[in-house]
Chains A and B, each alone.
Chain A
Amino acid sequence: MSEASVIDHGYEPSMKDYFDLLKPRVMSLVVFTALVGLLVAPVGVNPFVGFVSVLFIALGAGASGALNMWWDADIDAVMSRTVKRPIPSGRVAPGEALGIGIALSGLSVIMLALAANLLAAALLAFTIFFYAVVYSMWLKRSTPQNIVIGGAAGAFPPMIGWVVATGSVSVEAWLMFMLIFLWTPPHFWALALFMKEDYHKAGVPMLTVTAGHDATRRHIFVYSVLLAIFAVAMGFSSIGGPVFLATAVILNARFMLGCYRIWQRRTPEAQADDYAVERGVFRQSLWYTLLHFTALLADAALKGAGLWSGWV
């Protein structure tokens, strides 16, 4: 959709159209994980500085979303999941999306540097670069491991939240990073299983397209095992605690069981019930990160109240 054709049909973009460019649902997860990263840190932050920092971390994530939509407008127009996005639906011109993406990227990085510290701002700049350039422009269309490596972009926000508070990257920040990093592949591959036609039509080399469903099912299960081992071990770390450990044991057992059932199924069986198990695991994975990070917060609150003082 060219800029001229947007003007031709006389549609006037609203604030909501521009807001949709920022991928609000992704932003809400970024807000939450960055906030948890900030709150579980052992160093207190002025509430206003914390609020502004999380706001601009989210804005930076939104900016990278706008850049992603600008770059991927051609494939978004082909996939049913993304065809209603602002650019393919003709509500926002590509040039506007690019301008908004660049402007908000710069603004968010500068404001985070002013509000928090230079390291947090540098990490945010790297996250935007990683998502917009490394993932969107390079990996997404060139390798079936696209979301494995690209998942790092979504894993940075809690680390940035931690750095806002402490000023440095430590083991705990990497633990939160790894939890999201290992969660991303089974989450997206479960989606790709029941959206296979979309990626196929768009020519995106998702694992489902290049290696087939059976290989993807095996990959999902293997990642769920790695994720479970990591998550339960994280329960014994300095940011873990009884709530996180209990949450990790229950959620990972359920998640692994779901992924095991995905692995055991074959495509005809899945088609017969319209990918019910795959859809179920995908929905479960949405709750997975939310509940794990809530558990981190709960353990931090227990520590703050003096009810928990760590494993040793």
Chain B
Amino acid sequence: MIKVEHEIHQRRKGRNMGVGLLLLGMVAIVFGLTVVKVKNLGAIEKFDHVYRPAIDPTIPVTPPVDSE
């Protein structure tokens, strides 16, 4: 059954649209800030399930062996 729209929705349409737009703006701001902040962190390299000695800071970097 189709319900008749309540009059309050019509009366508050402008306000509801305004609140909706403000919320969307807020989402855009938080998203934008996240993008900027993450980009400013620089390159991130971490372990992904597998241990990688190459990026373990506790292991001293060994100089490359001269092949000559």
Contacts and interface: CB of A to CB of B under 8 A. Distances in A.
B36 interface: yes
Nearest to A17: B15
B55 interface: no
Interface residues of B, number: 11
A295 B4 CA distance: 60
Interface in A1-56: 12-15, 46, 48-49, 52, 55
B12 interface: yes
A14 B36 CA distance: 34
Contacts of B36: 46, 48-49
B14 interface: yes
**Binding site secondary structure of chain A:** helix
B12 A114 contact: no
B32 A15 contact: no
Nearest to A107: B26
A52 B33 contact: yes
B11 A12 contact: yes
- For chain A, which range describes its interface: under 10, 10 to 19, 20 to 34, or 35 or more residues? 10 to 19
Contacts of A111: 29
Contacts of A14: 14-15
A115 interface: yes
A48 B31 CA distance: 11
B53 interface: no
Nearest to A49: B36
16 contacts: A12-B11, A12-B12, A13-B15, A14-B14, A14-B15, A15-B15, A15-B19, A46-B36, A48-B32, A48-B33, A49-B33, A49-B36, A52-B33, A55-B29, A114-B33, A115-B33
